[in-house]
Chain A
Amino acid sequence: MSKNSMTGARMVVEAMKKEGVEVVFGYPGGAIMNVYDEIYKNPYFKHILTRHEQAAVHAADGYARATGKVGVAFVTSGPGFTNAVTGLATAYMDSIPLVVISGQVPISMIGTDAFQEIDAVGISRPCTKHNYLVKDVKELPKILAEAFYIARSGRPGPVHIDIPKDVTVQEAEFDYPKKVKLETYKPTIKGNARQIKKAVEAIAEAKKPVFYLGGGIIHSNSANLVRELVAKTQIPAVETLMARGTLRYDDPLLLGMVGMHGTYAANMAMSEADLLIALGPRFDDRVTGKLSEFAKYAEIIHIDIDPSSIGKLVKVHYPIVGDLKEVLKDLLPLAEKRIDPKRYEAWREILRRYQELHPLKYEDSDEVLKPEWVIQRLGEKLKGKARISTDVGQHQMWTAQYYPFTRPRELITSGGLGTMGFGFPAAIGVKQGVPDEISVNITGDGSILMNIQELMTAVQYKLPVINVILNNNFLGMVRQWQTFFYDKRYSETDLSMQPDFVKLAESFGGVGYRVKTKEEFDKALEDAIQKGVVALIDVVVDRYENVLPMVPAGGSLYNMLLEFKD
């Protein structure tokens, strides 16, 4: 054996070193013990022991979203892996780069229904960008390098590697590829120059163009270029949930979020536009509403690195496949030369009137805290200084509507899969990745209990996430739909049976607050920031507040429910 020969388990930790991995989130178990033994012997990176495998993957995901780096998680076979699947699917739907490594029973036992055996690659196939079952230790270095490359290149996504236990003890040469080249996988980076020129021409000829900003902007780190393009063309813009923070909240050209809970002006802009300039969105149903009515007067320019996103749901007139950053670099100088920002003044005026006609609004109260007020207050206190994670439901939409986002990667949220229980572990990963900023998880009384065990992780690793629970004693979003569409038959959405969140936090070594007034909220937030330990701020809010405006599922964007009177 040459001196570069090592076990499969050692290869895993050496690969982490080669890839510059700073932190791994994980949970050990039988099939992955050899890897954990190497972690013990070679402390190249910080390992964070979450209290559930799902949380390990969400934490790696939050870390990846906040930093732009590849998130890494280790889990064991069987239930360790199946617990991680929700995390993989969450990352897959939002195109987040992860490498998740699971243990597997030894090769000789695969297929025998062995203890903690499950067909892991069979399960992860539809919810990963790619996956591997390692059958030969000699292939492991190449597979590890490919996994990182595939996760972060092209349209990013999670990659899963399943390693049988016997592979982790077998030895082979550790020949880690410096550069990965795959004959069968070559993402298109440069956009087609002719298409770009045609797109600029279409913008210059349009009367009512709108920028439709999507999550691809965040993934390709091109928010600065987008800001420049918007400023130079003076064309109004709408953002999807995943694109929040691309433009500053106070940018006069930003019409707000688009879609089911988008602003009136944003949805009307889409409905009346004669040209959509779609930068890295994917025309999700929560954005488009009824497809046949979506942007029906508009031609569409769609720039995306994933060709299968283009034309999947709507007809695209100017498709451009490429890395958004590269395409924008080519497009900007042409746009500057060809486009006259004054051309769109009449259109901007129409949209300004829409904004004035129906701005986002809620009725504040002195008697009961309004959830929207809480978000706005958080914004006043933390604007630009914090990363905001959310769970899924009403609080998520209020956050997207009312929080003053100032930059990309400020909002960390599960958009595509809509995973309750995502926010808290994600916020732990965020705090690990961006330790100098405050990490807040805005959550609901339903979502927070789905990964509440992570209080222990946050305390152990001193990752002081502040959880703001908008507590309405309801599974609020479902309750809202029941109010609107099910004649108030509140089937299984009453969450009045609750723990004492203050004691709960304290029992783990964190701090808890129960808050009923504005003053109490301010004090609790200040105290939590100052204490620097994980916090639960249990905010009692109006039970029956609804997220508005709302486009009922399957309805047209221009048919918004602007208010709901009982």
Chain B
Amino acid sequence: MVERRVISVIVLNEHGVLTRITGLFAARGYNIETLTVAPIPGSDYSRLTIVTSGSAKVIEQIIKQLHKLIPVYKVIEHSELVEKEMVMAKIPLEERLADVEALCRAYNGNIVNIGQDSAIIMAADEPKRISNFISALKRFNPKEIVRSGVVAIER
């Protein structure tokens, strides 16, 4: 049975480390749905959050293979995670911005910028809710949608 999994990887923040991770996924045919990466404040490490999918056996191999990479410090695969994702979109100014703003609020979001012909909005919520948000946004004719990928932390 294929299941969705969130894996956090703590890696030494060094040259080429991201290629090692993504190269491993590509070489062994594993799937990456989203990938986020940023340094961990006050350390030499970075944290990657990878959303992937596969059977239990595949997920186990992914974790073991990640562990095998020399600069990998820790692989965290937890079912008790708080996950968040952010999305930004451009909405034409002709749309009903009061409705747009109400929608954003429902998803921990806001209008963050208004330009000459469009407003930029954002929302930050659980990945599934972000997908719902994007569906709901459709009727306001968004010109561009940017998703951040998932970040997660253990409970």
Contacts and interface: CB of A to CB of B under 8 A. Distances in A.
Interface in A119-139: 121-122, 125-126, 129-130, 133, 135
Interface stretch (B65-73, B99-107, B109-117): B65-73
Interface in A142-197: 150, 182-185
A306 interface: yes
Given A183-B73, A184-B12, A306 B68 contact: yes
A497 B20 CA distance: 45
B154 interface: no
Contacts of B12: 183-184
B65 to A, nearest CB: 5
Contact of A185 (B19, B61, B64, B70): B70
A307 B73 CA distance: 15
Contacts of B15: 133, 135
Interface in B70-84: 70-73
A35 B120 CA distance: 57
A306 B23 CA distance: 20
A308 B65 contact: yes
Interface residues of B, number: 19
B1 interface: no
A311 interface: yes
Contacts of B57: 311
Given A125-B19, A125-B23, A311 B73 contact: no
Contacts of B73: 183-184
B42 interface: no
A308 B70 contact: no
A312 interface: yes
B41 interface: no
A130 B68 CA distance: 10
A16 to B, nearest CB: 22
Contacts of A184: 11-12, 70-73
Interface in B83-127: none
Contact of A308 (B16, B19, B61): B61
Interface string B3-26: 000000001100110011001000
Contact of B19 (A122, A129, A150, A312): A122
B146 interface: no
A126 B19 CA distance: 10
Nearest to B61: A312
A308 B64 contact: yes
B58 to A, nearest CB: 10
A465 B23 CA distance: 40
A122 B57 CA distance: 28
A308 to B, nearest CB: 4
Interface in B23-75: 23, 27, 57, 60-61, 64-65, 67-68, 70-73
Given A184-B12, A184-B71, A185-B70, A126 B23 contact: yes
A182 B27 contact: no
Contacts of A135: 15
A122 B16 CA distance: 9
A312 B64 CA distance: 9
B71 to A, nearest CB: 5
Interface centre among A133, A183, A184, A185 (most CB of B within 10 A): A184
Contacts of A130: 70
Contact of B16 (A133, A150, A183, A307): A133
Contacts of B23: 125-126
Contacts of A306: 68
Interface string A268-306: 000000000000000000000000000000000000001
8 interchain residue pairs of minimum CB distance: A308-B64, A130-B70, A184-B73, A185-B70, A307-B64, A126-B27, A308-B65, A308-B68
Interface of A: 121-122, 125-126, 129-130, 133, 135, 150, 182-185, 306-308, 311-312
14 contacts: A122-B19, A125-B20, A129-B70, A130-B70, A133-B16, A135-B15, A183-B73, A184-B72, A184-B73, A307-B68, A308-B64, A308-B68, A311-B60, A312-B61
